[in-house]
Amino acid sequence: MTTQDFLLEIGCEELPPRRLNQLSQALSQTIKSELEKADLSFENIHRYATPRRLAVLVNNLALQQPQRKIERQGPSVKAAFDKDQTPTLACFGFAQSCGVSTAQLKVKKTKKGEFIYCEIEQPGQNTLDLLPNIIQSALKQLPTPKAMRWGDHKEFFVRPVHWIILMLGKDLVPATLLGKMASCETRGHRFHHPKNILVTKPDDYQKLLLTHGMVIADFEKRREKIRDLIQKAASEKGEAIIDEGLLEEVTGMVEWPVILVGNFKAEFLELPPEVLITTMKVHQRTFPIKNKNGDLLPYFIIVSNIESKNPKRVIVGNERVINARLADASFFYDNDLRTSLENRLPKLGDVIFQRQLGTLADKARRIEKLAAFIAKQINIDEQLAARAGLLSKCDLVSEMVYEFPTLQGIMGYYYAFHDKEPPLVAEAIKEHYLPRFSGDQLPRNLLSACVAVADRIDTIIGIIGINKSPTGDKDPFALRRAALGILRILIEKELSLDLFALLNEAKNNYAVELPNVNVANQSFDFIIERLRAWYLEKEVPASVFMAVLASHPADPLDFDRRIKAVQHFQTLPEADALAAANKRVSNILKKQAAELKSKTIDHSLFDSDAEHLLADQLKERAELVNNLYKKADYTKALSELASLKEPIDIFFDKVMVMVDDKEKRENRLALLSSLQQLFSQIADISLLS
């Protein structure tokens, strides 16, 4: 099959740097999807993205669709043939429209009856003719929530478009996209090479931009080059602190990265390091430098988009701005230190947490109570927990956090130390926001974990309590993230807490009556659903989760221990047979539930060795397993129960449960019920079958 490389480039005004890589990925993915939909084969796809362009290179794209067989449905058999099976006018007309004789028509049965069909060989269309519509369709699928319109045409795009390249091999694809006629000319760097560059073939695109246009078109290559340049420049002073998010953003801001090193006044090093780093990151997109001990140095790395004739001037300009910003930060910090965290509590009363749920001051007092409740359950200092909970949100009304919201908690930590609060309280104020996202670190100490859980539980109860649970992909209060944070803290920090009791305590802490009377139950189900999703990500089989869920554990840590025990149980050679036997027992007991009542086992009614053997083994194992159950050693308990496989097999081979004798039947059902109860203390093993 004949193939050629295909190139699309959309040249435009500066694209949003934080979304540039995402846009590039989306464009290549939608084009890939549309090419596959059109049944056009290709070898691979390369994507390119700079502030002024999005481009896609498709290698070895087929120049024509393959020939396809298409089935056309005609009239029903009743309409196509008369009583003598002679073709009717309807049949002749359909055959003529298909270009075949009536003898070549086929009959097929469908849900609506029998119809005549015709198979038509459809030749493939030329790729050159298909490409304009393919690209149009791909562009419509781009995630552009804030698209712009420019000029007098109706097309929308992320930014106004200045040029379009559409090439198949050496040929121009004649088309108008986003209000621009396609051409074979790209443009280089805005300042270093503003003139047009002729692209003679798609495969030369990246090389031409690099050698003639001073543009590194490949996003990943440009990002790694910037990383290497930063590290090299910083090595003369110390070591660069490279924030991956900032690196991604800077990569989206430059086409030809040039690295410069500036410095700021050493007096600003007295500020908390997070303040310095955030100021440099947010305001100037610069990278700090630290020494071998991890302490900040008064230097920073600038990533410029131009090879200036006077780089010193660029450095001085950045230094002037950085020093001014740090002077502002120092002013905010000094002002904040004049008011203690505790004295900021009244100001929290002026900030609404949620209109129906009160202010941040109300929330702080609820966290105070709930943190003390949790502290009592896990045997840590209740007064420290209450204090940390009360002060946890006070830095939100500080000048520094108003200027830099990402410093919430961190500034509270420094202000608490300044106020001579206990170190654990200061750490809890900083760490109670952890984990901030999936895979983030957890609070380091139990007091921090205590406040973190209290904060999230309070939010979940409040929001679900006013009937604003997440729906679909909408979760404005980040309840799913809060639920996952609670679960990770309790399980990974090995904190044993009754989740249902905790939710009820949180509900009772609300001074207002929550409209949702079932808030505790719904909140519990919501968190357990997040637990299910978490295990699914960890590739825990759904059957294992459902088996444990059937035993209704309210403690997430206990739930996790049962999950691990059941997973270990599945590795035992007896597991499958025991699961099947438990399922058989469960089915029998469901059908005979009315006969069970409170029936106890009567050994005098046994008339076979198999019954005696199973009853004796159950009694022997029950005492041992119950002791292990109390210690939450579920893995060993299930391993012990695995030894019941043989007596269970013998029982079902030798004994008929549903005999006519009512007393014997009920006695055998009671024996099976005891067996089921022994297993179901840990999990419903029957669900594994």
pLDDT digits (tens, 9 = 90+) for 32-53: 999 999 989 999 999 999 999 9
Maximal CA-CA distance, the chain: 105
Radius of gyration of the chain from its Cα atoms, rounded to whole angstroms: 35
The residue ranking higher by pLDDT, 689 or 345, is 345
Quick one: DSSP state of residue 81?
B
Structure confidence at residue 598 (pLDDT): 55
Phi, psi of 419 (to 5 degrees): -80, 0
In this model, does residue 205 exceed pLDDT 60?
A: yes
Q: What is the pLDDT of residues 625-634, one digit of tens each?
A: 888 888 889 9
Does residue 173 surpass a pLDDT of 80? Answer: yes
User: For position 596, what pLDDT does the model report?
Assistant: 60
Mean pLDDT of 166-179: 93
| pLDDT at residue 662, as a whole number | 74
Q: Which domains does the chain have, with CATH numbers?
A: 3-65+126-211 (3.30.70.260), 68-122 (no CATH), 219-337 (no CATH), 343-539 (1.10.3210), 563-688 (1.10.730)
**Tens-digit pLDDT profile for residues 208-234:** 999 999 999 999 999 999 999 999 999
Rounded to an integer, the average pLDDT of 4-23 is: 95
Range 582-606 average pLDDT: 71
Residues 145-174 have a mean pLDDT of: 89
Q: Which of 144-153, 346-355, 596-605, 659-668 has the highest mean pLDDT?
A: 346-355
Mean pLDDT of the chain: 92
Q: Which residue has the higher pLDDT, 512 or 374?
A: 374
pLDDT of residue 330: 97
Q: Is pLDDT at 258 greater than 90 in this prediction?
A: yes
Please state which of the ranges 59-68, 237-246, 429-438, 604-613 shows the lowest mean pLDDT: 604-613
Residue-wise pLDDT for 632-641, tens only, equals 899 998 888 8
Q: Report whether 410 contacts 272 (CB < 8 A).
A: yes
504-526 average pLDDT score: 95
Burial (CB count within 10 angstroms: exposed 0-12, middle 13-18, buried 19+), residue 210: middle
Lowest mean pLDDT among 21-25, 153-157, 214-218: 153-157
Q: What percent of the chain has pLDDT over 70?
A: 99
Q: What is the mean pLDDT of residues 456-478?
A: 94
Find the mean pLDDT for residues 94-118. Answer: 86
Q: What is the pLDDT of residues 278-293, one digit of tens each?
A: 999 999 999 999 999 9
Say how many residues make up the chain: 689
Averaged pLDDT for residues 546-567: 95
Helix (H) or strand (E) holding 596: helix 593-596
The pLDDT of residue 595: 59
Mean predicted confidence (pLDDT) in 502-530: 95
More confident residue, 18 or 661: 18
What is the C-alpha end-to-end distance of the chain, expressed in Å? 51
In this prediction, residues 500-524 reach a mean pLDDT of: 95
Question: Residue 54 gets which letter from DSSP?
Answer: E
Give 672 or 295, the one with higher predicted confidence.
Answer: 295
- Please count the other Cβ atoms lying within 10 Å of the Cβ belonging to residue 104: 11
What b-and-e string marks burial along 61-70, b requiring 16 or more CB atoms within 10 Å of the CB? bbbbbeeeee
State which H helix or E strand residue 290 sits in.
Answer: strand 287-290
**DSSP conformation class of 64:** B
As a whole number, mean pLDDT of residues 138-148 equals 87
Give me the pLDDT at residue 25, please.
97
Collapsed DSSP state (helix, strand, coil) of residue 575: helix
**So what's the pLDDT on residue 640?**
84
Q: Higher-confidence residue: 614 or 213?
A: 213
Both structure tokens of 480: 């799913």
- Count the neighbouring beta carbons within 10 Å of the beta carbon of residue 154: 7
Residue 607's pLDDT is 82
Among the residue ranges 25-34, 404-413, 588-597, 673-682, the one predicted with the least confidence is 588-597
Instruction: Report yes or no: 31 and 230 within 8 Å, Cβ to Cβ.
Output: no
How far, in Å, CA of 262 to CA of 252, rounded?
A: 22
Lowest mean pLDDT among 299-308, 548-557, 670-679: 670-679
